[in-house]
Structure 1
């Protein structure tokens, strides 16, 4: 230990005797603090001068004219007018070509182009299927290339500032247009505009009412098909086919109602052909008794009567539903239904007469053919086309008012369900018509009184205040945990750590790491200095006073190593002390724990000096190059500027093995506040780097000596390095 202290004392004695060495030593101490102070002050508030940032704005807006109100609005011009008065940024109003060209040349940070459809898109945002207004933003990414580690922090802040300011301005313009519209409605053209709205509403209301009636007509016709099918099945006297097999699959929408009615008419017509076959079988079979034949004929007559009743119901439906919509077609259809009913009544009467007769001879049933022919005439009378026309009418109304598909689609399991669903459609159409009635009443009221209080209640008396709310509808209340005064304070740990590492590198370049083999200690003389006998000259000997020097003493390798490191460490302590005290009193960081900040500087500087010193002692110039490489790695991998989670995986993996990582953590805890023992854990982890430094500088130094010597000789031969 005494020999190591002798080395340190001898080093500073030499520095004291040389003015140049003293200046160099002061330079080594000052450089790190200048690096840190200037960078922290430069990054103190990088977003405070956005008002000097030039943003070009140009408009190609063609304006917008409403269908209802004969006023032309150009929202783009109003946006430009608003931006001229905005001082948050340096807005430059120009034309599109100059804006883009200026952005390319670097004259502007960015340019904003309002498209030709800007007003149209902005004022029809409420329409179904409309797209938001598109604004072209051009940025010069080359101009904002971020060479310093923290420079790209400004881009996101600037973009957010542009977005909020521009949104607020557009909102102000939009709501100002509502106010202009309100003023327009107070003028002489108000009645004309409202009349056009009223006419459209009345036309739509009429379509809704007609659609409701049509839907109910379709429901009644569909319901009329049910007794037709039932009576036809009874006449046939066989198991009735499931409706899902005959009709249900076809009743999936309104147009299938015509298929259902046509199928029911066909079933009744075909049933009479089967009746004829049944009658032939009754009279051709010899062993059938009179009572059995009479009972069967009576049953057939009863079923025909049910069929007649069904046709009577169909005729009533035609008279009540179709006649108001198509009177001529309804009259023709009613006449043919009467003929079909009369023919079927004739069949019924013939069956009754045959039942009462005792004759075994088959009577004349030509009325069956007349009944089938009459029913076929009903089918061919146009009832199918008429029902299809009704379905088309209802579908057209649905397209006009954009009814939900579920109101028209009939997912029923029977014809009765189809009828009920159609009635529901009619009710829905009536409800929409009632809403239009209410709208018409309100329009009429506004037309008579000019009252626009509802719009005023929404917008209020201050469109600008409402625009502010639109631009930032949610206000975030920032509650900082471990607060820092500014962005520069947040970056101070990184700058301080880098400065101390740079200070260690400069010390390794400026100071020698090798120590003389022998140091001679003299008794005090009038010069009060020690003399290095190994390096003295004859002139030096002549000047030595009469006091005889002590014999030169050998200095051990450990004393040489730690003695010279002591010189490095004292330089590092001076660097860190001035640096941290300057941050507190000159830069005014106001750390949460001032002493801990100074202590972190002392520990960091000593560890960095030891690491760089060990690399230089063991590897000479190669060690210095390796120290520079570690500096480059630690700039991005130590987590000083970005969260490690945002960095590539390789950087995250190497971060725990870098001393700067723990130095930055300690500085942060001292500046903003410590959580638990995180400050002391960071310092303790940083101290662990003493182990690899001693292994490299003390243990591996001698085995690497030959390699280092050969490397130095090779560099010397170049006569350049």
Structure 2
């Protein structure tokens, strides 16, 4: 180790005494810093100057008419972009724009087509169509510019979409608000409808039963109407026959009335005759009873009395036959007057017939007693006197009853019979008029029955259809009722109304920007340049190592007794010391000259020292052990680490090969530990990165310590052979 230290002191002494060497070393110390500073400064904040990026806007929108209002989204977009400073917007024609974008004067062209507003307005139609924006980009000019212009185009689309959604939702929520007000006004009707549905659900079984009954009644009514139709001809026949019968009956009553008028005097004469005979018989009996009996005269009187009584009996029979004929005539008139029964007339005729029967009985009894006179005269005179007395009493009673009957006949029976016959004729006249009306109305009845039959058939068909549809209707009403109950259980209509009745303007503003990004930066980075500082600083330190091993010799001029290992470590101290100066200058320059916002400056510088030592141990060992081949290894490692360490793009976005080698690259841990210092240290990550860096350093130092001498013997032969070509030094 003493020899190594001596070699280091000798190198420092030589640098300090040789001004050319000092200048060269100084250049090697500062040169890597320039590499880092220039790259960091160039990428400091490129997105802050996108307003210098020329992008052409072509507006060909012809506008559209939406419900009487003119809409031109293209013009509105142009007005918006004129106040937008994100890019250098140029408003021109399609021809000019396409020409200049091909030439490279414009990085991109955005064209608003003619039907842009028309397609947006199709939202109110039954066939909405998406609107298109044409975007042309010249990717040949620059690899980053297309991504920036694409973002600008995306921003335009988002702006149009946001504004359009805001406008559409503004209209929608205006409608919702009006709808909420209208629903609220109809709320009582809605509740009534719900109650109606529930009531219908309850009443439907009753309605079904009622329909079944009506169907049965309709069937019965249909049968009745059919039967009635069949009976109309019979009714016409009966009506005609009734009219004929009534006509004949009226003629018969007229004849009967005339016959009564003719019989009345005859009956009255017969009654008077009977009355006279009865009175003479009574007088005769009184005389016989008071006179002395002369049997010869008695026989004559007896014969005379018997003849008178016989004549009275015959007269009474004649009167009785006339009364029976009047009774039959009265019955016929009552039947012809459509069943009207005159009780008073029948009663009086029956009483008159009974009285004539009684008179006949009295007269027959008188005749019988008179015929007994001979026997009685012969045997019992006293008894005969009694019989005569009885006969006289009977005759006297007969005379009284006969007088009463004659008086009743004239005052009651005869007027009653004549009156009832006249009433019967009047009733039959009314019946004839009624039947005539019925006969004249029978065609209309037939028409009504036919119409009723048709209506009943149609109604029955409708009823059958209704009953057929009843299960479907009942099922639908029940489903509706269940849905209403479910909605009532799950939702509150008042809450829905309250939801609909919101401020339309507030809702419009909400949908214009429904999601607001509340950005919380855990380890905020000021700008893009600051974010790239760890990568470019680490890259500069590796480049610094390459510059040193390219200009400085790794083998020292030493005496033969100094081992290869001592030379390895002695010259390592020299390289490491220069590397530390490189790290000190680049890290302090990042903070002081460029103004990089480093959260932990001390650790940023200290981590720079660590990285410089690790990189120097790697690069120095490769060149010290392998010579010029080691330089090639160092350059290869640089190339792989720039692409695979994740310094510019996240590792997960890299190809699979670079994702695979990423954990084995020193840059991976060097860039990460410098990011910790710039953004804010998470010590668990920082210690992990430092540990891996030290492992890399230890591995290469051990490799150089134990293999340098063996490998150098091989590489010196290769070096000698290559120099023989005259192309390598």
Q: TM-score, length-normalised on structure 1?
A: 0.55
Aligned to 1:21: 21
Q: Tell me: CA distance 1:677–1:178, structure 2 relative to 1, closer, same or farther (3 Å).
A: closer
Contact 1:109 1:140 in 2 (8 A): yes
Question: Quick check: 1:495 aligned with 2:536?
Answer: yes
Aligned match for 2:155, one of 138, 158, 164:
164
Question: Quick check: 1:417 aligned with 2:481?
Answer: no
Alpha-carbon deviation of 1:47?
Answer: 1.1
Q: Tell me: CA distance 1:175–1:680, structure 2 relative to 1, closer, same or farther (3 Å).
A: closer
Q: Tell me: CA distance 1:455–1:110, structure 2 relative to 1, closer, same or farther (3 Å).
A: farther
Question: Quick check: 1:119 aligned with 2:117?
Answer: yes
Aligned match for 1:504, one of 514, 535, 545:
545
**1:386-426, CA deviations, whole angstroms, 9 ceiling, x for partnerless residues?**
99xx9xxxxxxxxxxxxxxxxxxxxxx98433123677999
Contact 2:617 2:697 in 1 (8 A): yes
Q: Tell me: CA distance 1:306–1:417, structure 2 relative to 1, closer, same or farther (3 Å).
A: closer
Question: Quick check: 1:484 aligned with 2:497?
Answer: no
**1:179-226, CA deviations, whole angstroms, 9 ceiling, x for partnerless residues?**
99xxxxxxxxxxxxxxxxxxxxxxxxxxxxxxxxxxxxxxxxx99x99
Q: Tell me: CA distance 1:60–1:707, structure 2 relative to 1, closer, same or farther (3 Å).
A: farther
Q: Tell me: CA distance 1:414–1:562, structure 2 relative to 1, closer, same or farther (3 Å).
A: farther
Whole-Å separation in 1 of the counterparts to 2:556 and 2:74: 77
Aligned to 1:370: none
Q: Tell me: CA distance 1:172–1:49, structure 2 relative to 1, closer, same or farther (3 Å).
A: same
**1:450-490, CA deviations, whole angstroms, 9 ceiling, x for partnerless residues?**
xxxx9996358xxxx978x7664432222211222222111
Alpha-carbon deviation of 1:338?
Answer: 5.6
Q: Tell me: CA distance 1:509–1:41, structure 2 relative to 1, closer, same or farther (3 Å).
A: same
SS across alignment from 2:542: helix
Whole-Å separation in 2 of the counterparts to 1:695 and 1:79: 67
Alpha-carbon deviation of 1:44?
Answer: 2.0
* Pairing 1:192-211 to 2, within 5 Å after superposition: none
**1:335-354, CA deviations, whole angstroms, 9 ceiling, x for partnerless residues?**
xx9699738999xxxxxxxx
**1:547-583, CA deviations, whole angstroms, 9 ceiling, x for partnerless residues?**
xxxxxx7322221111111111111011001111111
Aligned to 1:139: 137
Question: Quick check: 1:716 aligned with 2:698?
Answer: no
Whole-Å separation in 1 of the counterparts to 2:158 and 2:106: 20
Aligned to 1:609: 616
Contact 1:63 1:120 in 2 (8 A): yes
Q: Tell me: CA distance 1:424–1:613, structure 2 relative to 1, closer, same or farther (3 Å).
A: same
Per mean C-alpha deviation after superposition, the further-off stretch among 121-130 and 417-426 is 417-426
Q: Tell me: CA distance 1:706–1:29, structure 2 relative to 1, closer, same or farther (3 Å).
A: same
The structure that is helix-richer by fraction is 2
Task: List gaps (5 residues or longer) in structure 2.
Answer: 172-203, 231-453, 482-499
Q: Tell me: CA distance 1:25–1:674, structure 2 relative to 1, closer, same or farther (3 Å).
A: same
Q: Tell me: CA distance 1:39–1:310, structure 2 relative to 1, closer, same or farther (3 Å).
A: farther
Q: Tell me: CA distance 1:79–1:103, structure 2 relative to 1, closer, same or farther (3 Å).
A: same
Whole-Å separation in 2 of the counterparts to 1:383 and 1:36: 102
Aligned to 2:580: 573
Q: Tell me: CA distance 1:340–1:144, structure 2 relative to 1, closer, same or farther (3 Å).
A: farther
* Pairing 1:313-332 to 2, within 5 Å after superposition: none
Q: Tell me: CA distance 1:106–1:340, structure 2 relative to 1, closer, same or farther (3 Å).
A: farther
Per mean C-alpha deviation after superposition, the further-off stretch among 580-589 and 562-571 is 580-589
* Pairing 1:145-156 to 2, within 5 Å after superposition: 145=143
Q: Tell me: CA distance 1:344–1:24, structure 2 relative to 1, closer, same or farther (3 Å).
A: farther
Aligned match for 1:342, one of 206, 226, 235:
226
Q: TM-score, length-normalised on structure 2?
A: 0.55
- Pick the structure with greater CA Rg: 2
Whole-Å separation in 2 of the counterparts to 1:340 and 1:587: 115
Contact 2:57 2:110 in 1 (8 A): yes
CA RMSD between the two structures? 4.6
Contact 2:538 2:671 in 1 (8 A): yes
Q: Tell me: CA distance 1:590–1:226, structure 2 relative to 1, closer, same or farther (3 Å).
A: closer
Q: Tell me: CA distance 1:417–1:307, structure 2 relative to 1, closer, same or farther (3 Å).
A: closer
* Pairing 1:166-565 to 2, within 5 Å after superposition: 167-168=158-159, 309=217, 342=226, 415-420=469-474, 458-459=504-505, 472-518=513-559, 554-565=561-572
Q: Tell me: CA distance 1:179–1:590, structure 2 relative to 1, closer, same or farther (3 Å).
A: closer
Alpha-carbon deviation of 1:501?
Answer: 0.6
Q: Tell me: CA distance 1:341–1:134, structure 2 relative to 1, closer, same or farther (3 Å).
A: farther
Contact 1:111 1:139 in 2 (8 A): yes
Contact 1:164 1:472 in 2 (8 A): no
**1:626-659, CA deviations, whole angstroms, 9 ceiling, x for partnerless residues?**
1111111111322222222232333222122111
Aligned to 2:175: none
Alpha-carbon deviation of 1:671?
Answer: 1.6
Whole-Å separation in 2 of the counterparts to 1:492 and 1:695: 32
Whole-Å separation in 2 of the counterparts to 1:586 and 1:493: 16
Aligned match for 1:618, one of 621, 625, 635:
625
Alpha-carbon deviation of 1:688?
Answer: 0.9
Aligned to 1:654: 661
Aligned to 2:376: none
Task: List gaps (5 residues or longer) in structure 1.
Answer: 147-153, 181-221, 232-304, 313-336, 347-376, 391-412, 428-453, 519-552
Q: Tell me: CA distance 1:691–1:48, structure 2 relative to 1, closer, same or farther (3 Å).
A: same
Work out the number of aligned pairs and report it.
459
Alpha-carbon deviation of 1:611?
Answer: 0.5
Q: Tell me: CA distance 1:574–1:62, structure 2 relative to 1, closer, same or farther (3 Å).
A: same
Aligned to 1:89: 87
Whole-Å separation in 2 of the counterparts to 1:383 and 1:132: 57
SS across alignment from 2:517: coil
SS across alignment from 1:125: helix
Contact 1:45 1:486 in 2 (8 A): yes
Whole-Å separation in 1 of the counterparts to 2:227 and 2:628: 123
